[in-house]
Structures are given as C-alpha cells and as structure tokens.
Copies of this chain bind each other. A is one copy, B any other.
Amino acid sequence: MPERGLLVSAPGKVILHGEHAVVHGKAALAVALGLRTFLRLRHGGGGRLCVCLPGVGVRREWDVAELRVLRDRIAADFDESKSPSVEQLDVLKEFAGIAADASAPDSLAVLAFLYMCLAISAKYGDVPSVDIAVWSELPTGAGLGSSAAYAVCLAAALLHACRAISCPLKDGEATARWTEEEMTLINSWAFQGERVIHGNPSGVDNAVGTWGGALRYQSGKITSLKRVPTLRILLTNTKVPRSTKVLVAGVKEKIVKFPAIMNPVLDSIDAISQECQSVLEAMPTNPSPEYYPVLEELFDINQHHLNVIGVGHPSLDRLCRVTASHGLHSKLTGAGGGGCGITLLPPDATPLAVEAAKRDLCACGFECWETDIGAPGVTLHSSSSLNAEVLHALAES
C-alpha cells in the first residue's frame, strides 16, 4: 500500500448542543458528520510535490529541492506544540504568491498544506515526492469543520509519507484506523493546520475529524463521549450568509443587557448538553425509536433558547416549521443567524416523510443532505471501499 499510495478520509462536524454557550464557559457537544473529506496520496518519482484541490480550484506543484531550501530557512522552531509563527507564514505566503492578508479558502488551503508539509518533514524525514489530491463532500465556510477535515487528512497522509505513523490497512481490508497514539499525533498536526487557517481555533473540529463519534468541549477541555450511536439526520444549509463574529458579539451584548434573564438560559443550555450526553451514552449502537423523543425535545428546547439569545433567523424558523410539518424536529447548528440546521431522523420516520421533508426544504432554496452523525474519525480506505463519485473526484486531479 505505501508504494501504491494512500486513501484517507476524515469527517466534518456539527454542534449538537452548546453552540454560543460554549463561548461563556458552558459545555458543547460536537459530533462527527457523515459527510467527509477524502485525500488520495500517490508516490511520485520526479522530485515534485503536487497538491490538487478540485473543490476550490487549486493545482500547485513545487520542486522538492526548492521546498527543502525553503524549509531550512524557517525550520528553526517547527514544533507541533507551538503555533506557526507570523514570520514563518509570511515566508510561505511570499513563496507561494499568496497575499499577506489573503483569507480565501484556496489561499489558506495552500498555505496550510505548505506549512504542514515542511513542518512534518522537518521533524520526521525528507520532503516527500508525492501527488496529493483532496476532495470534500463538505461545503466550505458553513461551520461544518471542512478545514479541520482537510487538515486531519493532510496530517495523516504527510505523517504517513514521512513514516511517522504506520499503515494499518491490511490487504483485503476495506478500511482501517490508526492506533490511539498515532491518532494523537495526527490530531496535534491537524491542529497546526487549523491554526494556519483560523489563527486561534478551539481544537474541537480537528479532534472530531480525528476521533470521530462525539466530543464534549468545555473551557478548553475536550473529552470523547464513552460511546455514541450513529444517528440519521438531515443537514440543511439555508445558504443565508452570516458572520460568526457578529453573532457572538450580539449574544455577549444581550448577556450584558439582561444578565438575570440571559445567564439562566446559558445554564439551561449547559444542562441540555449534559442531558443529551447522558442519553447518547445510554443508547445502543442502533437505537430503537423510543430513545428519540427525549433527543427531539432537547432539540426543540435548545432551538427556542438559541432564538432567545438572538442567533435565530427567519430561514431557520422556516426550516424548523417545514420539518415539523413532517413530524421531524430540528435546530440550528453552529453560529446560527442563517447557516445550517440539523433534523433528527428517527428510525420510524418513513422514507416518504423524509423524502417529502427534503423536497420541501429544497423548495425553500435550501441545500439538504441525508447523512448521519457519530461517524468514524480519520480512516484509511482501500480504493475498492470508496464510491465511484469520490474516486472520480480524486482522479480528476
């Protein structure tokens, strides 16, 4: 397999409960999404390093010898425990022809790629002569952890190319996962990639991308839930653009304006995350319908609370109303003010009801995916285990 290349994937994430409250020290539950990012690594022979990101229109190629020189210029303090320095990133931007204040996904993806490649190779081996293609089922900028899934895939592939981690996929196996120790290393390097892209990320997204399942995040501490069932959901993007920064500031303002009214709401949201965690940890892997009413009730309550703290939006009200008309329960996920919502699909939701809900959501101009949460984290794949669409997208590069 190392000779023939590598196929890796990592999941996106959604916040199940605790968005915004987490900014104020409360718990949040983040879960791995069934929509994934896929990476194909091929060993090249020509002393070139190629990266191709068909989703954002990127195709870049560098001379490995040139990258070695570049690496040695900035290698003084490559360390996965330290943030990439401004100086390092400035040198990389200049090298790659990226504007100093670039913020477009394609520029940040190339920058993270270069940083991770040079930093990992500085620590574990030589700059690899490989072709890397990455393609994602996740939309970018929708709060679904697409940058983290990208960074996790890159970290796994580059650590593997530098022989810092093994290749656990045995012949004849469809998928395989790394050891806990290897995943810890992948996660820490993925966090470096996230730092390049986001500056000061929480680390939740890359943790979900690496470990999968569900994580609890509170005051900087990330813990995996003991066990998590796989739950079917609809993920709906209202496509209403919003600024997370403005929404976070609005919540802060409301808390300052009405502390006695708003602080109890944050306490209630915290208790919802706790209750949801307990319910999820008590659910069997393939839960029967009777587990769902509590999850649905928690969705409904939190959706009201999110409206109270001012991050609702008429498009999200509409999403909830449309799904409610089919007996399904939804809440916004992430920043709110538009963006995405999730809808639980209990096992007894009829395919007809689900199809009707999807049709009605699309009729609102929303984009809608039927997928699941609680998905596995970073995974190695045999090419026969990937579907044709993914293989085709990766081959186009």
Assembled-state Cα–Cα distance A136/B305 (Å) = 39
Give the docked Cα–Cα distance between A301 and B260 (Å). 13
A271 CB within 8 Å of chain B: yes
Q: Is A307 an interface residue (CB 8 A)?
A: yes
Complex: A244 Cα to B264 Cα, angstroms: 26
Q: How many residues of A contact B (CB 8 A)?
A: 19
Number of copies of chain A assembled together: 2
Within 8 A of B (CB), among A52-92: none
Complex Cα distance A18/B344, Å? 32
User: Chain A interface secondary structure, helix, strand, loop or mixed?
Assistant: helix
Check A268 against B271 for contact (C-beta < 8 Å).
no
Q: Are A261 and B265 in contact (CB under 8 A)?
A: no
> Considering the chains assembled together, what is the distance between the CA atoms of A166 and B83 in angstroms?
84
For the complex, is A304 an interface residue (Cβ under 8 Å from B)? yes
Q: How far is the CA of A382 from the CA of B374 in the complex (A)?
A: 73
Q: Which residue of B lies closest to A268 (CB)?
A: B264
Choice from B260, B267, B274, B301 contacting A308 with Cβ under 8 Å: B301
Residue A272 is within 8 A (CB to CB) of chain B in the complex: yes
A173 within 8 A of B: no
Mark interface residues in A270-298 (1 if CB within 8 Å of B CB, else 0): 01101100000000000000000000001
Cα A272 to Cα B274 with chains together (Å): 26
Contact A264 B265 (CB under 8 A): yes
Within 8 Å CB of A271, what residues of B?
258, 260-261, 264
Give A contacts to B, CB under 8 Å.
Answer: 258, 260-262, 264-265, 267-268, 271-272, 274-275, 298, 300-301, 304-305, 307-308
Query: Would you give 6 A-B contacts (Cβ < 8 Å), ordered by A?
Result: A258-B275, A261-B268, A264-B264, A268-B268, A268-B308, A300-B308
